[in-house]
Structure 1
Amino acid sequence: METAARRRPIHLGDHVRRMRTALGVKQSALASELGTTQQNISRIEQEEEVDEVTLERIGKALGVSAEAIKNFDEEAAFNIVSNTFTSQDSSTINAINIQPTFNPVDKVVELYERLLQVEREKVELLERMLKEQK
């Protein structure tokens, strides 16, 4: 007997939560990156619909595209992990066991701070050049 595969509506808040947890980012870290509260992130993750602007901002903070969040597929993720663990190649298994020692959001903040410093230096240089011209 054949059963028709029922397609559930996309629950974008759930996709946000699963993507965030897959990347190892806590709600509080994501909230900090977005300039909001942990409670607001929790609320977003409970909503079925998430507006495009919010989804883009969350994706940017997590280092993924909004499309990646929209198309998050647990079955595909399970198949990738399942196929990887059935591999007999020990290097693949060892690579999986490596735990990152950094938080992706912290890396984004670090890069942003470096960018700000470069911009400040550029402004100082331009100001000096203007003073020398006068």
Structure 2
Amino acid sequence: METEEKINSNVHHGHNIRRTRIEKNMNQDILSEKVSMSQPTVSRYESMRIIEDDILERFAKALNVPKDYLKTLEEDAPSIVFENNSITNNGGNNTQAGLNDEISNDNRITNNPIDKITELYERLLKDKDDMIAELQQHIDFLEGKNNKQ
């Protein structure tokens, strides 16, 4: 029992609902309509540390995430965005998007978020290398100036 409490000590159901709602660009009014509650009630649930499973299930369905995601996500954990990846392709068959690509409602395959992170990281490394090269040029210039004196 102590282990279970220890594991769940960093979990805040209400914060998880709020965090997921914000990640999905949804305000409390829209969420309140989806869960058939008033906006003040949604706000009150977002401030609660522990929420009953049946209420969590309603929020999970409205936010299109698994109930366990809202129930177990720790406060400092990285975000995971869940999308409804079922689409109807031109042939009329339902398909599921792979884990590496997201498919939007207009059947476009968008970039994998990890690819975007990698691209940004590579850009940061290049900027750092450029700054180092520029600083080295300044050092060389100053050293050359001092040698002439």
Contact kept, 8 Å, 2:57 with 2:67, in 1: the verdict is yes
Corresponding letter in the other structure for 1:51: E
- Structure 1 length-normalised TM: 0.52
Q: How many residues align?
A: 82
Q: 1:87 is matched with which residue?
A: 118
Q: 1:23 to 1:72 in 2, by over 3 A?
A: farther
Tell whether 2:63 aligns with 1:58: no
Contact kept, 8 Å, 1:12 with 1:49, in 2: the verdict is yes
Q: Which of 1 and 2 has greater Rg?
A: 2
Q: 1:45 to 1:86 in 2, by over 3 A?
A: same
Corresponding letter in the other structure for 1:88: E
Contact kept, 8 Å, 1:33 with 1:61, in 2: the verdict is yes
SS at match of 2:34: helix
Contact kept, 8 Å, 1:19 with 1:72, in 2: the verdict is no
| Deviation at residue 43 of structure 1 after TM alignment | 0.1
Q: 1:71 is matched with which residue?
A: 72
Q: 1:9 to 1:64 in 2, by over 3 A?
A: same
SS at match of 2:118: coil
Contact kept, 8 Å, 1:13 with 1:50, in 2: the verdict is yes
Greater per-residue strand proportion: 2
SS at match of 1:76: coil
Q: 1:23 is matched with which residue?
A: 24
Greater per-residue helix proportion: 1
Q: 1:48 is matched with which residue?
A: 49
Two-structure CA RMSD over aligned residues (Å): 2.8
SS at match of 2:43: helix
Q: 1:36 to 1:77 in 2, by over 3 A?
A: closer
| Deviation at residue 76 of structure 1 after TM alignment | 2.6
- 4+ runs of 1 displaced by more than 3 Å? 6-9, 82-86
Q: 1:12 to 1:83 in 2, by over 3 A?
A: same
Percentage of pairs with the same residue: 23
Consecutive unaligned residues of structure 1, counting only runs of 5 or more, are 1-5, 90-134
Contact kept, 8 Å, 2:45 with 2:51, in 1: the verdict is yes
| Deviation at residue 25 of structure 1 after TM alignment | 1.3
Consecutive unaligned residues of structure 2, counting only runs of 5 or more, are 1-5, 81-112, 121-149
Q: 1:38 is matched with which residue?
A: 39
Q: Distance in 2 between matches of 1:35 and 1:77?
A: 26
Higher relative contact order (CA 8 A, sep 6+): 1
